Structure 1
Amino acid sequence: MPIDDAADREIARLCRRVVREEGLPGLSVAVTDADGVVFADGFGSRDLAGNRPATPETLYGIASCTKSFAGVALLQLAESGICSLDDAISAYVPVQFDRPEPTLHHLLTHSSGLPSLGVSETLLARRLRLPDPGIPLGDDEDFFAHVDGADGERTDPPGERFAYCNAGYALLGEAIETLTGRPFDEYVTEHVFEPLGMDRSTFDDHEFSMADDHMTQYRRTDDGELVASSLPTRELGQATGGVLSSVADLTRYLRLHLNGGEVDGAHLLDANTLARAHVGYVDVPGRAVDGGTDDREYGYGWFRDEGFLGDRTLLGHSGSLTVSSAYLGFLPNEGLGVALASNTSPAFPLGVVGEGVLAAALGEDPESLPFFRRRRRHARLCGKYSAYEGVMSASVERAGNALQASFEHPLNESELPLLPQEPVEAESRRADTVYRYEYVTSEGRREPAEFRVENGEVSLLLDRWRLRKH
């Protein structure tokens, strides 16, 4: 599905705006159809000190986008008859669970009943020299003991509730090693990377650092400064987020999913087997902050959304290592996929940008997506406000997908989160309008807040105050 010049320009415009407005050092993007790449470019810098450009070949840490690679590996082993995805995980790793035991399938779908056990968070913090809880995680034995001790933490029987659990994918990586007699990274390299021609993809941080075109990764400090940082790779838990790759390489992996398990004559899986990875097995709870509903499910390393741009099916996954981030997504019915990566982690999943790129590639307006509509609205509303004659001052800032009003007065220094009370619809920046929000008072009452836009001027009506934006 080739894209036209207008879509090409819109993708580039969107990506440059994200890099500029969100303070990303660099961003690499590639769009592919089932036959090959239809757009590829880099924006910003892969290394700020040398101002080296980000390119489609730049290597990044793709973090949790790795999870679907573990799914492919296990489907290959199941197709070969080496295992069944209904096997208990305890058949392959030395951990014990009370019955009913979680299976490989349950761990693949984050429905084992285990909550997060903090394994990835602890290891990432440790490698980044940040404070961590001091859990012994020096080797596999420590890891298995940590998981074994958590059986009582299970919240539900397997298969009933989605709860994202990196430790579950670390167990799957260990199971693959038991089943194949080889390290997880060697298996994926030989059975996925090499057949697909993903020549730059690796798990090896030394190989990464010696590559001609690799990112310098940046951590954002509390004051917003970007600081060059170490790459927090770790041998333990490679299946949770260990792949280092370029968006150019990742398009070949996306083509595997768009082509039913085969790319350019390389056959990795039968189409029916690979299709098992794309099924939504467990509902992902949650509701959009702007009042819409999220109809999402989880497969084998993929979130499945049936309502993208109305009624399109989107499979995707974001990932973050704190110092790098990535997104993989594809539209199976349209035969289109996107890979993005950045050398830092913004305050939102990179997937929202990937969705905007896919929208632009389809000839749709990225601004029609809720995330970009909210960002546009918030840019309009954020700033400094004052009441009549300056008797009260306040500032409004973005707080994730909501807003926060901070009062600045000797008798009233407080902060109020403001949550939108209606969907963020498409709007004209010139039109008068009212935006309705809600906050909770100290006594627990829900109270309204209104932003009014009249003749280009913005006012905030909150409690007893009318505050005008400067």
Structure 2
Amino acid sequence: MSIADDASEIARLCRRVVRDETLPGLSVAVTDADGTVYAEGFGSRDLAGNRPATPETLYGIASCTKSFAGVAVLQLVESGICDLDDPISAYLPVEFDEPEPTIHHLLTHSSGLPSLGVSETLLARRLRLPDPGIAMGDVDDFYAHVNAAGAERVDPPGERFAYCNTGYALLGEAVESMTGKPFDEYVTEHVFEPLGMDRSTFDDHEFSMADDHMTQYRQTDEGLMASSLPTRDIGQATGGILASVSELAGYLRLHLNGGEAAGERLLDADTLARAHEGYVDVPGRSPDTEGADRQYGYGWFRDEGFLGDRTLLGHSGSITVSSAYLGFLPDEQVGVALASNTSPAFPLGAVGEGVLAAVLGEDPESVPFVRLRRRHRRLAGEYAAYEGVMSATVERDGGSLRVDFDHPLKDGETVLFPAPEEGENERADAAYRYETVDSAGRREPVEFRVEDGEVSLLIDRWRLGKQ
């Protein structure tokens, strides 16, 4: 695959994201089944020294680690050491009421457990941020925390998706129980080394000694703040890998080639394909769809409607001071790895999808996130009604907009959520529809209109023009 014609579009998108979203650095690599076809860094891996981000920069990839856990478990299944339908209590000192969650349920976040806050507690502790103060000093504390949470189960296993880092922490402990090797050692020996991922590690000391590694930054109200790296021994399988996009591209080739890469076969194709299936619906939807539009496999979200009817397997990750994304299109045989040395207010997968769109020759704005962010930049600003009798400020707020009115009789904020498009508005060059909820719980329409380059906001009884 050659993407020479698309490289400038990828670079344009990435530079815009670095600038507009206050990312210190961003690295990206695109691969097909044979090898890396594009790799570049944008911005700085270290602001104080202004050292550039590169495709070889080591980042914390956070929850992108989960698909590695899926590979490790499937290797043990293929070897006959365990079965996906085995209860997790067969391998660990945990107790659950019947029906017990199985390895499959933990892999698919459908164990019935909600988040138990293990990762959040450990990350906050390592970042010197306030935490609940629960005992979590060693693995015995971890098991005690899990065993005391039986009443927190909200559904029988297999019925409901609820993202649960604790489930993957249990899987990492199960790998050690089955193999006699800690999860990090197992993955290093059975995944990193066969794939030639020589610099990838779980060890923060190895990371800090590497020539090309990120300085990680936390987003604060005062701007970017250099921070410690929140690695932790408990829960490595939830998000502990430190890697470069260059080596992650090699890992993606494992998935593009049915379990084989770098001349090594890590899994049979049929076994690895089980990781890519969608087993449980993921709540929520993209702005252009109705109803759930994603499912979850073994460490992968599965979207069968990407850019129309393409199948996308992907996963984002964040550890507050670093973020990453891995995604691939199995039918088009192309994948992308991205990483940044901070965590923006949106999953980095939104940018990865824009990169994949560019690789396929599509406008990155065909991806809802990219289109929405550009639209929101256009709509944000100061607004005023006729003769200045009412004024308001429109600001971006994640995937929504926030309107802050400034008038003695109408002083407060209103959040606007994008509404499904309903076709063209003949009275405007462009019309963007939103919804808000009033004090009585009614959904009310809101509309921005663009006419001859002028933007106006129609909300409640008001028409406000952008100044």
CA distance in 2, matches of 1:64, 1:181: 24
1:425: how far off?
A: 8.3
Any idea what the Cα deviations from partners look like across 1:142-195, whole Å, max 9, x if unmatched?
100111011111111111111100000000000000001111100100000000
CA distance in 1, matches of 2:116, 2:202: 23
Judged with a 3 Å threshold, the aligned counterparts in structure 2 of structure 1 residues 337 and 291 are, in CA distance, closer, same or farther, namely closer
Residue aligned with 1:375, SS: helix
Identity of aligned residues (%): 78
CA distance in 2, matches of 1:396, 1:405: 5
> Structure 2 matches for 1:17-416, cutoff 5 A?
17-223=16-222, 225-290=223-288, 292-416=290-414
Judged with a 3 Å threshold, the aligned counterparts in structure 2 of structure 1 residues 250 and 71 are, in CA distance, closer, same or farther, namely same
Judged with a 3 Å threshold, the aligned counterparts in structure 2 of structure 1 residues 425 and 279 are, in CA distance, closer, same or farther, namely farther
1:379: how far off?
A: 1.4
Any idea what the Cα deviations from partners look like across 1:285-319, whole Å, max 9, x if unmatched?
21224554542111100001101111111100000
Asked if the contact 2:196/2:262 (under 8 Å) is kept, the reply is no
> Aligned letter for 1:2?
S
Q: Which stretch has the larger CA shift, 346-355 or 261-270?
A: 261-270
Unmatched 5+ residue regions in structure 1?
none
Instruction: Please state if 1:451 is matched with 2:440.
Output: no
1:14: how far off?
A: 0.9
2:436 alignment counterpart: 439
- If the length of structure 2 is used for normalisation, what is the TM-score? 0.97
> Aligned letter for 2:435?
E
1:2 alignment counterpart: 2
Residue aligned with 2:365, SS: helix
> Aligned letter for 1:436?
R
CA distance in 1, matches of 2:397, 2:287: 12
RMSD: 1.5
Any idea what the Cα deviations from partners look like across 1:349-382, whole Å, max 9, x if unmatched?
0001001111111111111111111112111211
Residue aligned with 2:347, SS: coil
Asked if the contact 2:421/2:433 (under 8 Å) is kept, the reply is no
1:120: how far off?
A: 0.7
1:129: how far off?
A: 0.7
Any idea what the Cα deviations from partners look like across 1:317-369, whole Å, max 9, x if unmatched?
00000100000001111110100000001111000100111111111111111
Any idea what the Cα deviations from partners look like across 1:226-270, whole Å, max 9, x if unmatched?
000000000000000000000001011101111111113211111
Residue aligned with 2:206, SS: helix
Judged with a 3 Å threshold, the aligned counterparts in structure 2 of structure 1 residues 206 and 424 are, in CA distance, closer, same or farther, namely farther
> Aligned letter for 2:149?
A
Asked if the contact 2:325/2:349 (under 8 Å) is kept, the reply is yes
- If the length of structure 1 is used for normalisation, what is the TM-score? 0.96
> Aligned letter for 1:419?
F
Unmatched 5+ residue regions in structure 2?
none
Instruction: Please state if 1:460 is matched with 2:457.
Output: yes
> Aligned letter for 1:303?
F
Asked if the contact 1:61/1:326 (under 8 Å) is kept, the reply is yes
Asked if the contact 1:170/1:239 (under 8 Å) is kept, the reply is yes
> Aligned letter for 2:39?
A
> Aligned letter for 1:452?
R
1:12: how far off?
A: 1.0
Residue aligned with 2:173, SS: helix
Residue aligned with 1:304, SS: strand
> Aligned letter for 2:460?
D
> Aligned letter for 1:434?
A
Asked if the contact 2:56/2:244 (under 8 Å) is kept, the reply is yes
Residue aligned with 2:350, SS: helix
1:389: how far off?
A: 2.2
Asked if the contact 1:290/1:420 (under 8 Å) is kept, the reply is no
Any idea what the Cα deviations from partners look like across 1:106-139, whole Å, max 9, x if unmatched?
1000010001111111111111111111111111
Judged with a 3 Å threshold, the aligned counterparts in structure 2 of structure 1 residues 85 and 51 are, in CA distance, closer, same or farther, namely same
Asked if the contact 1:219/1:344 (under 8 Å) is kept, the reply is yes
Q: Which stretch has the larger CA shift, 145-154 or 441-450?
A: 441-450
Q: Which stretch has the larger CA shift, 13-22 or 50-59?
A: 13-22
Judged with a 3 Å threshold, the aligned counterparts in structure 2 of structure 1 residues 387 and 442 are, in CA distance, closer, same or farther, namely same
Residue aligned with 1:191, SS: helix
Any idea what the Cα deviations from partners look like across 1:6-48, whole Å, max 9, x if unmatched?
2111111111111111111000000001110000000000000
CA distance in 2, matches of 1:16, 1:438: 31
CA distance in 2, matches of 1:366, 1:310: 13
Residue aligned with 1:196, SS: coil
How many correspondences in the alignment? 465
In the TM superposition, structure 1's runs of 4+ consecutive aligned residues that sit over 4 Å from their partners are 290-294, 424-427
